[in-house]
Amino acid sequence: MKNKSLVSISDYSKEEILSILESAAGFEAQPNRKILDGKVIATLFFEPSTRTRLSFETAVIRLGGSVIGFSDAATSSSSKGETLNDTIRMVSSYADAIVMRHPLEGAARYAAEVSPVPIINAGDGANQHPSQTLLDLYSILKTQGTLEHLNICLVGDLKYGRTVHSLIMAMSHFHPTFKFIAPDELKMPDEYKIFCRKHDIPFTEATELHDNFNDADILYMTRVQRERFQDLMEYERVKNVYTLKNEMLESSKPHLKILHPLPRVNEIAPDVDGNEKAYYFRQAQNGLYIRQAIINNVLNN
């Protein structure tokens, strides 16, 4: 790559991941620092977002930089037929780095190849969401005190959920044991199971949620990704497959933490929100500090 882009979590070594987490802790302690004075960051969101876009933009503003961009592709010239290549060429002549979410898998890699400024992948189709993965790792480290030898239960849409795909790759540095809980239609794709076998990561698969996470340190719930289904009848069949309720947590480990990349739909009942094991809103807040660390890293390396 020509620049210090973050396209896939596999672009970062274990040492770089740990360095980002350490840097994020510094930004959490002191989030308002004017280290981006005079810098412009573009946020190009070809798909909807609340957390990722707003936390990236907040990260830039709190560091003294400025933000340009769009949150709806319909308001950009891509709606007139402009190619991604031309959009990136233009925006890279205005901005020092580009944060991009795009529905096509591989769009971020393509953008990084044609851009002279760093590209930060804010999600490309069902492929990767590396800044989410780094904030997930930060949340796991903060709540468990370690990333090593944890039992992690991934639940829901494991087929289309890009956050679980990135998380498996990142955790491969830290000797995890995984349990994949999904209906048959949304099972973990073979390529990630092959990845686990290649990296000696034990995993089991299940279709039932109840009583299947009692040995977990992390219960990672995910939304069924309606926007990725070709057949909406199939979505209707699986959309409410799992709902975590407070009563289901009684036999779970005392230090269990429930993560969810959000937004949630029906996968976590509101009565779980008050449980001390619920961590998903603080997880989203951690995204601000991680994104400050990522921007600082891509601009200063």
The set of catalytic residues is 51-52, 80, 101, 129
What Rg value do the Cα atoms of the chain yield, rounded? 19
Question: Least distance in Å: CB of 132 to ligand CP?
Answer: 5
Lay out the site mask for ligand CP across 32-71 (x = CB under 6 A, - = otherwise). -----------------xxxx-------------------
| Residue placing its CB nearer to ligand CP in the complex, 244 or 262 | 262
Distance in angstroms (rounded) separating the CA atoms of residues 162 and 152:
16
| Residue placing its CB nearer to ligand CP in the complex, 179 or 291 | 291
* Sequence-distant contacts of 284-288: CB under 8 A, at least 24 apart: 284/51, 284/55, 284/135, 286/24, 286/28, 286/135, 286/138, 286/139, 286/142, 287/51, 287/52, 287/55, 287/131, 287/132, 287/135, 288/27, 288/31, 288/55, 288/58, 288/59, 288/62
From the list 125, 161, 176, 261, which residue makes contact with ligand CP (rule: CB under 6 A)? 261
Question: Least distance in Å: CB of 178 to ligand CP?
Answer: 20
Q: Is 132 in the site for ligand CP (CB under 6 A)?
A: yes
| Residue placing its CB nearer to ligand CP in the complex, 133 or 252 | 133
What is the CA 106 to chain-centroid distance, rounded? 16
> Which residues are within 8 A (CB) of 130 and not within 5 positions of it... i.e. 6 or more apart?
6, 7, 8, 9, 11, 12, 121, 166
Q: From the CB of residue 67, how many other CB atoms can be counted at a distance below 10 Å?
A: 17
Q: Is 262 in the site for ligand CP (CB under 6 A)?
A: yes
Question: Least distance in Å: CB of 69 to ligand CP?
Answer: 14
Q: How many residues bind ligand CP (CB under 6 A)?
A: 9
Question: Least distance in Å: CB of 127 to ligand CP?
Answer: 13
Residues forming contacts to ligand CP in the complex (CB under 6 A) are 49-52, 123, 132, 261-263
